[in-house]
């Protein structure tokens, strides 16, 4: 039987752009061809923007799976498939099952496998130690089959599926005349082989006589018991052993925990369940689905041994831009074209970072290095990513390698770079139906340097009129976004692809000073026009970082 493949998620940054999405899809295709025992899955951290949506539709590709948190979940833990038990099995059987399974907790389920409660080894031990009156067997509504199983008994008269639910449990040590005075209707009487005592118990209204040491019960006694509705059981055990063990026949429902059960769903994140698991004396916890169907059990030990989820990062290497809980993931590779950021790994990883205009260019190079043929639809995605990131080769980030890769890929995909690029940007800049929030986060990144944190969003368009309209709509949102993120500065780039210029909107007290230090001009009314500036990565961020460094 083949072992289950380990899932490895290939992820771009938050608020993914075309490069982030397309590179993840292409690299998953490339990695799956290596057939190394893992299943590589393209994923996205945010929503797909209109430009990327157009590209995916154009080349017949589905959106990557949505994954906004890479933290481990309960389903990533080793879930023990401890079988559920019925609530009417005996305490002794539950104890024996625990010993066989090396478990300290058993889940109790109904016929539809819904979780009803739990029984722990401490619950069973406590039931043995607690003082219980002679009516407790009846109060627990103990099935006769439990008594038969616990005492290794045989039922000579009666129904094994019936329930002992009325009367005391007594030991007949006195003579028949005395017995008549303390045996009440429905009682269970533990006794020996004396004919007179058996007859006296039945005639006194006993509901059951339990004969010890395997003594033979005469036919006449059986007949009288049948006529009087008295069950007759015979056990090979002695009176002392029967008296000591009969409480073990009680059903687990008499002692099981029903209320305030701590249960988890397979989708729960382990970071969210840690407190619940560590702040209680219970060692094992049931896992159920949303309909409360029992799945299995987990323990604190399973929590310590959980295997981290594996990821490959593309188009970013900054913690602030990565998926939530990236520090809890096992990073296997990083493929990027940005500056080296703040992300740290626990072990050495394959890190490929090249000064090109697009991550897709690096992916293209890897295809060539490995000698893999690039499918037509993958070629279309990679070419689209390069055209998007380099603004149709107008961005200063664009290198000769980007141009060569785009031209080779466009030939495979059967598209013209210029014509398709205009189509793509036109589709992406149709933002009239979008809310200011959707537009703002279409391509937004947070940056941290020297304890200074700020956010920068960007929109590219081929229409100056559209950019002006977007600017008016976004202006009030800058303040809201800055406040929500707890940042001191927020910027937004309105980039005109044709004119190769950016109108930069600024918010925050230090924002104007930072722009003046970086570009020599103070913004007016929170806005400044930056001719020749089209790249956030290559032009805006380096200028800001240099200005911050000087301070």
Q: What is the pLDDT along the chain (551 residues), one digit of tens a residue?
A: 455 688 999 999 988 999 999 999 999 999 999 988 899 999 999 899 889 999 999 999 999 999 989 988 898 888 999 999 999 999 999 999 999 999 999 999 999 999 999 999 988 888 777 656 788 899 999 999 999 999 999 999 999 999 999 899 998 876 777 777 788 899 999 998 889 889 999 999 999 999 999 999 999 999 999 999 999 999 999 999 999 899 999 999 999 998 889 999 999 998 888 888 888 878 889 999 999 999 999 988 888 778 888 999 999 998 888 998 898 899 999 999 988 887 888 888 999 999 999 999 999 999 999 999 999 999 999 999 999 999 899 888 899 999 999 999 999 999 999 999 989 988 887 677 778 888 888 888 888 888 889 999 998 888 888 889 889 989 888 888 898 888 989 999 999 988 889 999 999 989 999 999 999 999 999 999 999 999 998 899 999 999 998 87
d(C-alpha 168, C-alpha 515), whole Å: 90
Verify that 227 and 273 share a domain, yes or no: no
Residue 453, helix vs strand vs coil: strand
Tell me if residue 199 falls in helix, strand or coil: helix
CATH number at residue 266: 3.10.580.10
pTM for the structure as a whole: 0.67
Are 53 and 107 members of one domain? no
Classify residue 217: in a domain, yes or no.
yes
Q: Does residue 134 sit within a domain?
A: no
Residue 133 located in a structural domain = no
Q: Give dist(CA 496, CA 206) in Å, integer.
A: 97
**Going by DSSP bridges, is the β-strand pair 163-164/142-143 parallel, antiparallel, or unpaired?**
antiparallel
pLDDT at 55: 96
Q: How far is residue 549's CA from residue 89's CA, in Å, rounded to a whole number?
A: 73
How many domains are contained in the chain? 4
Integer-rounded Cα Rg, in Å, for the chain is 37
Percent helix, strand, coil in the chain, to 5, is 40, 25, 35
Going by C-beta distance under 8 Å and a sequence separation of 6 or more, which residues neighbour residue 215? 192, 193, 234
What is the per-residue pLDDT for 38? Answer: 93
CATH number of the domain to which 155 belongs:
3.40.1390.20
- Tell which phi-psi region holds residue 450, choosing left (phi > 0), alpha (psi between -120 and 50) or beta: left
Q: What is the pLDDT of residue 1?
A: 42
Are 193 and 211 in contact by the 8 Å Cβ rule? The answer is: yes
**Among candidate residues 172, 178, 162, 227, the one with its CA nearest the CA of residue 198:** 172
| pLDDT for position 18 | 96
- Is 315 found in the same domain as 422? yes
- Angstrom CA distances, 428 to 353, 417, 458, 528, 533, stand at 28, 16, 12, 24, 20
Supply the DSSP symbol for 375. Answer: P
Question: Within this chain, do residues 157 and 235 fall inside the same structural domain, yes or no?
Answer: yes
Q: Tell me which residue of 237, 184, 191, 181 sits closest to 207, measured CA to CA.
A: 184
Whether residue 387 is contained in a domain is answered as yes
Q: Give the range of the structural domain holding residue 289, as residue numbers without chain letter.
A: 76-128+254-304
- Is 45 domain-assigned? yes
Name the residue among 338, 379, 381, 332 with its Cα closest to residue 358.
338
The answer to whether residues 58 and 147 belong to one domain is: no
- Report the sign of the C-alpha dihedral through residues 470, 476, 480, 485, in that order: positive
Residues 6+ apart with CB under 8 A from 372: 30, 33
Q: Which of 377, 117, 409, 161 is nearest to 255 (CA)?
A: 117
List of E strands, 137-260: 142-143, 154-157, 163-164, 169-171, 188-191, 208-211, 231-234
Residue at 163 is within a domain: yes
Q: What is the DSSP letter of 147?
A: H
| DSSP states of 390-436 | TTTTTSTT--HHHHHHHHHHHHHHT--HHHHHHHHHHHHT--TTS-H
Within a domain: 261: yes
Which residues, listed in sequence order, are joined to residue 106 by a DSSP beta bridge?
119
Listed residues 397, 428, 459: the one ending a domain: 428
Whole-angstrom distance, CA of residue 235 vs CA of residue 148: 8
* Residue where a domain stops, chosen among 286, 304, 322: 304
The answer on 537 and 395 residing in a single domain is: no
The DSSP line for 61-114 is -PPPEE-SB-S-BGGGS--B-PPPB-TTSBHHHHHHHHHHHT-SEEEEE-TT-B
DSSP letter string over 44-60?
Answer: ESSPPPHHHHHHHHHTT
CATH of the domain at 480: 3.10.310.20
Last residue of a domain, one of 227, 249, 271: 249
């Amino acid at each position: 039987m083949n072992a289950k493949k380990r899932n490895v998620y290939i992820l771009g940054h938050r608020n993914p752009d075309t490069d982030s999405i397309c590179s993840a899809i292409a690299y998953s295709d490339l990695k799956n061809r290596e057939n190394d025992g893992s299943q590589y899955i393209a994923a996205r951290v945010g929503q797909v923007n209109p430009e990327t949506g157009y590209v995916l539709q154009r080349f017949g590709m589905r959106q990557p799976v949505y994954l906004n948190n890479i933290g481990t979940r309960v389903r990533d833990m080793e879930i023990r498939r401890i079988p559920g038990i019925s609530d009417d099995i005996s305490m002794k059987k539950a104890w024996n099952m625990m010993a066989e399974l090396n478990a300290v907790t058993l889940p109790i389920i109904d016929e539809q496998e819904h979780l009803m409660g739990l029984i722990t080894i401490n619950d069973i031990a406590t039931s043995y130690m607690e003082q219980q009156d002679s009516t407790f067997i009846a109060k627990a509504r103990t099935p006769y089959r439990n008594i038969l199983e616990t005492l290794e008994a045989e039922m000579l008269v009666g129904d094994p599926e019936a329930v002992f639910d009325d009367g005391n449990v007594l030991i007949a040590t006195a003579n028949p005349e005395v017995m008549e005075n303390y045996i009440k209707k429905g009682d269970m009487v533990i006794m020996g082989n004396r004919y007179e005592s058996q007859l006296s118990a039945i005639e006194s209204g006993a509901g059951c006589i339990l004969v010890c040491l395997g003594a033979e019960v005469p036919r006449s006694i059986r007949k009288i018991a049948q006529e009087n509705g008295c069950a007759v059981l015979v056990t090979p055990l002695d009176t002392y052993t029967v008296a000591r063990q009969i409480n073990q026949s009680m059903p687990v429902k008499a002692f099981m925990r029903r209320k305030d059960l701590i249960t988890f769903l397979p989708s729960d994140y382990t970071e969210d369940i840690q407190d619940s698991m560590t702040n209680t004396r219970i060692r094992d916890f049931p896992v159920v689905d949303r309909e409360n169907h029992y799945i299995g059990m987990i323990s604190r030990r399973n929590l310590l041994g959980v295997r981290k989820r594996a990821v490959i990062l593309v188009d970013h290497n900054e913690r602030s831009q990565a998926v939530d809980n990236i520090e809890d993931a096992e990073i296997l590779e990083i493929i990027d074209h940005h500056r080296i950021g703040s992300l740290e790994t626990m072990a050495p990883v394959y890190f490929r970072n090249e000064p090109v205009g697009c991550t897709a260019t690096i992916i293209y190079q890897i295809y060539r290095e490995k000698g893999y043929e690039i499918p037509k639809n993958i070629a279309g995605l990679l070419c689209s990513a390069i055209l998007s990131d380099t603004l149709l080769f107008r961005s200063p980030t664009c290198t000769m390698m980007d141009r060569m890769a785009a031209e080779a890929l466009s030939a495979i995909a059967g598209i013209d770079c210029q014509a398709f690029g205009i189509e793509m940007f036109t589709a992406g800049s149709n933002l009239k139906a979008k809310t200011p929030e959707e537009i703002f986060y279409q391509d937004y990144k947070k940056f941290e340097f020297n304890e200074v944190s700020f956010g920068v969003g960007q929109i590219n368009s081929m229409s100056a009129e559209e950019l002006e309209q977007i600017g008016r709509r976004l202006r009030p949102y800058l303040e809201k976004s800055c406040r929500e993120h707890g940042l001191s500065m927020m910027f937004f780039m309105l980039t005109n692809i044709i004119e190769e210029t950016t109108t930069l909107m600024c918010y925050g007290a230090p924002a104007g000073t930072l722009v003046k230090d970086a570009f020599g001009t103070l913004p007016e009314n929170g806005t400044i026009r930056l001719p020749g500036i089209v790249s956030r990565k290559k032009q805006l961020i380096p200028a800001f970082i240099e200005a911050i460094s000087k301070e």
